Structure formats: structure tokens, C-alpha cells
Structure 1
Amino acid sequence: MLNIHKYNIIFYIIQNEREIPMTQTKSFLKEIDFTKQELEELIDLSIKFKQLKKNRIPHKYLDSLNIALIFEKTSTRTRSAFTVAGQDLGMNVTYLGAGDIQLGKKESVVDTAKVLGSMFDGIEYRGFKQEDVEDLAKYSGVPVWNGLTDTWHPTQMIADFMTLKEHFGSLEDLTIAYIGDGRNNIANSLLVTSAILGVNVKIISPEILQPEADIVELAQKHNNGANLTITDDISEVKGVDILYTDVWVSMGEEVDFKSRIDLLLPYQINIGLLAKVENPDVIVMHCLPAFHDLNTQIGQEIYEKYCLAELEITDEVFHKYSEIIFQEAENRMHSIKAIMYNSLKNI
């Protein structure tokens, strides 16, 4: 017997391809390359792919294509999401770790781009320099997806705003407060993406860790009616709908860890901070990994050295909002699937 419900979902997605013209931009390198409508379409397409996955409906729309995943930085969610998303779409997925290729060492990024572009239909890059992912896109001739650089984390943003739309039903009139290191890639992307989507955002961090002037300028330039606030005043959390935080030291960053902890400890998301929000419906988000307990090697080392069992978020708060945090993590896969499909659907 045919499952009419399942086939209706497939038909709905195919029909919507005609009704909602997706962006023709092939690569996904940074958020400002997309309009508000285009980002909203990616968010909606992510939700549709999630429906297909949940209903176990095969969707190998990109059958027999080949993609390469370049990882200069280690990863759990990004690697898993790209791998499973690619396989669900019917693609062959090849992982290329830092020790597997000569990118930037014995072979230039440009030369590597030309070689990989001749063999693969798409390339994911997770590494350090934004200019490297831009060069891969420029010289490979195939779509390139930014899995994270030191400056931007665009695939995380589609998953984050997908999660918010699922939870609140709409992105209208929401206010996000990002608490902590305001100069990292998550803070940069959150500020700019919120501006593009017209979602109010507050970056709350010590003055020395607030976004660079050029990032703020980009957010203002691409703003579609959002209230943008950058402050060191923690009381600004009052009335917000979402608290968002990230690790206090980014991957590969060399800092005086003790000084960073001392600087950011007043910005920890804990029960006291939640009380200052004065919104019973507030949610907490974290892109993970999170230092909220002693169940990791690094967590144990931090505790032995600094006598702190929790950093950017307390264990109590993490578990209170764990359902939404892990929903956000799962949505990396669905959103990345939408991003890759949008890039490759016309091949």
C-alpha cells in the first residue's frame, strides 16, 4: 500500500521548487553573500528536509555526485552533518583531514582547488583563513561550503535560525543576546545574520572582546530593520527571548587562559543571569562543545588548574535547556543538506 502522506511531502518539496526560486549562488562562504529572502528559503528548505528524514523518505536527489570534506580543524557536528547529509542525498563523500592533503603546505590553495575541482562536484572546508575558503571557491569551479573559518560560521547560522523558527513559529520580533567572547566566528555570524534577517541582537561582552569595527559595519550595511546592540552591560539581557553562548577560547586561539576566564566569568550563563532576563519563556542556545562539567579531559585540566568545574554555562542551565541545545545540534545536518542541495540541484 502506498503511503500517501509520505509521497505528499515529496510532492510538496518538488512543487515548492517552482513556487520559491532558490538563490543561484552556488557556494556558501559567508552570510552577506545572501539576501534575507534567500536565507529564509534555506531555513524553510532545511525544515522540509527534516520532515523527509523523520518520515524515513529516501531523498537521493544528488545521486552519484562526489564531494570532498577538507578539515584543517577537528570536528564532531560539522563532519558528521556533512557526511550524513551527503550520503542521504545519494552522494559519495570523501574526508580529507589535515594530515591527508598538502593544502597550503607543499601545494598552494589555488593549485589544490584546481585539482579537487576537477575530481569533485563540491567541496566543504573547515579551517582557519576565510581567504582560503574564498580561493577554493574561486579556483575550483565547483560549489564550496564554509564549515567554519576564524571569521565566519555560516552553516551554523542556518541551523540556529531553523531551530528558532521551529521553537517560536516565526523569527519576527525576537531578540537574541549573545553572551561571552564577542569577537569569535559565532558572534560575528550571529550579529550579521540577525541583521540580515531583521532579528534584534545584542552582543554582550567585555569591551576588549567586542566585535571588530568592520564586522559591525557589515551588520549595519546589511541590516533589515533589526535593533543592533553592542555593550558590556550584562543587565541588557532583560526581556530577551534567547540567550546564546559559546566557548571562551576558540580553536587554535593562543591567549592567557586565566586572564580570559577572569574577564568572562561575570558573563557566565547561570541561574542568576536567567533571573535577570525576567522572561519565563527564554531559551538558551549553545553551538557546542560546551564546558559545563568535568566529563572531558580538557574540563578536568581546567578544574585542576583553575578550580572551575563550569565555564561559559553552568551544568544546571545546560541540562535545563539541553533539549533545545541538542535540537540545534541535530539541525546542523538538515540545514547543511539544504545548503548542499541548493548548490548542486541544477547539475
Structure 2
Amino acid sequence: SEVEQAWLWSHRQDWSSDCAHSHSALTFPMATSRLCRPAALRTLKNASVTPKRFASNAPSTSQPAQSPFAPRHLLSISDLLPSELTTLVRNASKYKTAVKSQSVPPHLQNRLMAQTIAIMFTKRSTRTRVSTEGAISMMGGNPMFLGSQDIQLGVNESLYDTSVVISSMVSAIVARVNAHDDVANLAKHSSKPVINALSDLYHPLQTIADFQTLLEAFPSSESAGAESLGLEGLKIAWVGDANNVLFDLAIGAAKLGVEVAVATPKGYEIPDFMRDIIKSTSPNFKLTETHEPAEAVKNADVLVTDTWVSMGQEAEAKKRLRDFEGFQITKELAQRGGAKEGWKFMHCLPRHPEEVADEVFYSPASLVFQEAENRLWAAVAALEAFAVNKGEVIPAEISEQIHAGQVKAMMEKLTGKSS
């Protein structure tokens, strides 16, 4: 169709560069051809051969699966090409608009019918659980929640055994864990796609939701192509603890041409190994680090923070609260630091008053509740790409075209008629 041809043509210049910058293409030679061809191209040719798939390339002390035939996992934004991150964000936004207008896209309905998605949480959650179960249900699937009382990774049973057995009974696994090694090893031995819903190093679904929120707050220009969200030149100021949310956000920013300035107390900086990972994402990425919040805020479009005391750090609470004194986001900080007029604020929640003042959190500048809702749409987009399409990140309009063609072919087969 003209739509399909236009999309393929718009992507022609970026395939080679995407391949050149893909860690997966370098790590798994047999998967190189997969990355150098857009997913839609093979789909449109009705290829019946099972596509080569590969494991996550998210850095970890545990090695990911080495087999090029392993399912593709989403463990970090590092696992996505810039074009794929853009597509996931745009798909999430399109599905949100469609569903809110009472029009669930036909190609999205019942895509997970009769399929069970395991939701394995060793850490409690509000937004992650609600958004994940909601997304699975919206797509016609059956969410199976396995909390810490139901299953403990590596306790009483090896993680290998758990991964092999559970993945043999479900269509995909969404895991929220403490150590990143846990989700990396889960993916290493799983026969089904694994989506990281949070680990101590990464939080990819949050990053997809965050860039969807930024896309809505700073609409891309008409000239922005399919490979861009139109956010180039935007500046994010992160004030607070350097943590997993920041790490994936910075990796995503590097892929999308967004600048990041980070202000942390001394002793809470980005770890050296993670700084190397972030900076290696793009040679042109601008990352500024400081211990002065006002310095990071200068010319920022968006001010972002997160909890100062994460789950598992309760014993450090008193020390952390002392160390982070002066890092609260306030209107005075934004003015003193010289944030841009019309600046916005984001926080992935849960929020505590010492992190951001009410005057900011509940102000028109705050995007926090919009950001929280977008976790649902990020989950929908990720589940479609990894649980349904097995790692093929396809634009929503192309998926709709393909679905329409499949329905038409099925009806013609049933009726014995062809148009």
C-alpha cells in the first residue's frame, strides 16, 4: 500500500546507521541481518520463516543468552535502536488517543487472547502492577501475578529451573526485581520474551512513558520524521539521586538527541561503569554532572527527580535525608537556576514532600499524573512489540495495515471469494 511504501522509504537512510550502532548486531553476528532489515519489510513479504531473534544487550554482571535464536527481551533502553524507541513512544501515544476516543484499534484487540503473561514481582508496586495488568487485559490476555509470597527467585529453587519451567507455561514474563542480575538470568534461560518492569539498574517501561509524556508536553514539529520525536535540543535537569530511572532515561535521551544535566550530592553520582554505558550510546550526547542543583537547572525545559530513599534503602534513610538537603525542587530553585520559561516537572512516584515542594508538584507545570497514566500505554506498546510481535517493533499504522490484510485474507478463505 502507499502507507507501507511511504514508511519503508522514510526509513531507508537509517537502516545502515542503526546496524552500525547496534550492540546486538555486533554481539550476535547471526542477528545482524535481522537488524538491518525493518520488521515491516519482512512482514509485508509474508515471510513464513521464523525470524532470527536475539537476547538483551543490557549490560550486566551476568551474561545474557548467547544463542541468536533466543527470544528478544527488553531489559533496558540499551536494547532498542533509536528508531525502535521512537516507534514505541509514538505507538503508546497513538493507542492512548484511540482508546480515549472509544476506538480500540482492531489490530490491538484480543492480540493476547488465550495467552497468559506472568507478572513476577519481588518488589511491591502500585503503578507497575496496575499498568501491566491493565495492558494485558486490554489486549485480551490473562495476567498471572506472582508476588514475593508466591515465588522468590533463587530461593528453594534455582533461578534456572524457575525460568525454564515458568516460560514453558506462559507467553511472556514481566519481571520487577531487586538485582538486575535476577532479571538478566531470568531472560538468559527463558524460552519466552522477558520485559524488565524494574531492576536496580534499569527501568525501560518508565523511560518509554517519560518520553511519551515529553512528546505530549512538547509536541514534535511538523518536520519531525518517523525516526524522530522532535525533541532534539530539549534539556532535562535531574536533581536528586542517580538511580535506575535516571540511567535508562539518560540512555533514551542519548538516542533521541536530548540533553541531560544531573545534580547529585557528593557520593551519589552516576557510577563510572554506568556513565561509560550512557556516553557510549551516542558520541554527540551532552551529559553534564554537578553537585549544584541550580547549575543543572540552568536553561532546562524539564525538571525531574525521584525518591531519595528507594525500597531496600530504609536503613540509610536518616543519612540520605541529611545528604540530600538543598536538593528539593522548588519554584525558587527553578528561578534561581534559570530554568526556561514554561518549564515542566516530572516524578515517577511515589513522591515525598522533601523531594519536591507542593507548589511545584500540584502546579500546572507538573506532569506527574499524566506521566503515571502513560505507564499503561507504555506497557501496551511494549507488550505488543515483545509479547505479540516477538521483538518486532512495528509502527501502529503498519500493524493496522497488516492486521486488515490478514482479516481480509481469512474472510476470503472462509467465503471462497476474493476481491
Normalising by structure 2, what TM-score?
Answer: 0.71
2:289 equivalent to 1:230: yes
Q: Partner of 1:62 in structure 2?
A: 112
Q: Write the mapping of 1:148-159 to structure 2, written as runs, cut at 5 A.
A: 148-159=198-209
State how far apart, in whole Å, the 2-side matches of 1:190 and 1:248 are. Answer: 17
1:197/1:224 contact within 8 Å kept: no
Instruction: Tell me if structure 2 keeps the 8 A contact 1:290–1:312.
Output: yes
1:283 pairs, out of 344, 347, 358, with: 344
1:168 aligns with 2:212: no
Q: Offset at 1:103?
A: 2.3
Aligned pairs for 1:1-347 within 5 A: 21=38, 26-58=72-104, 59-169=109-219, 170-182=230-242, 184-223=243-282, 225-236=284-295, 237-276=297-336, 277-292=338-353, 311-321=354-364, 324-346=367-389
Instruction: State how far apart, in whole Å, the 1-side matches of 2:233 and 2:122 are.
Output: 38
Sort the Cα spacing of 1:325 and 1:16 in 2 relative to 1 into closer, same or farther, 3 A.
farther
**Equivalent residue, structure 2, for 1:297:** none
TM-aligned CA distance change 1:38 to 1:102, over 3 Å: same
Amino acid at match of 1:179: V
Report the secondary structure of 2:289's partner residue.
strand
Higher mean C-alpha deviation, range 312-321 or range 329-338 = 312-321
> Quick one: percent identity of the two aligned structures?
37
Matching residue of 2:61: none
Q: Flag structure 2 segments of 5+ consecutive residues without an equivalent.
A: 12-37, 41-52, 55-71, 220-229, 391-419
For structure 1, the 5+ residue unaligned runs are 1-11, 293-310
Cα shift readout 1:213-266 (whole Å, capped 9, x = no counterpart): 001000111125221111112222111000000010111125432221121121
Distance 1:321 1:38, change over 3 A: same
Tell me the distance in 1 between the aligned counterparts of 2:299 and 2:179: 36
Task: Say whether the 8 Å CA contact 1:22–1:342 is kept in structure 2.
Answer: no
Is 329-338 or 277-286 further displaced after alignment?
A: 277-286
Deviation at 1:60, TM superposition (A): 2.4
Deviation string, structure 1 residues 267-304 (Cα, Å, up to 9, x no partner): 10012112123422100000000012xxxxxxxxxxxx
Letter in 1 for 2:349: L
* 2:342–2:365 CA contact under 8 A, matched in 1: no
The Cα of 1:18 is off from its aligned counterpart by 11
What secondary structure does 2:349 align onto?
Answer: coil
Q: Distance in 2 between matches of 1:17 and 1:92?
A: 34
Give the conservation status (yes or no) of the 8 Å contact 2:294–2:334. Answer: no
- Deviation, 1:345, is 2.7
Residue correspondences, number: 316
Shift of 1:106: 0.5
1:207, CA displacement in angstroms?
A: 2.4
Quote the offset at 1:73 in angstroms: 0.5
Structure that is richer in helix per residue: 1
Q: Equivalents in 2 of 1:221, 1:240: separation in Å?
A: 23
Q: Match of 2:198, as an amino acid?
A: L
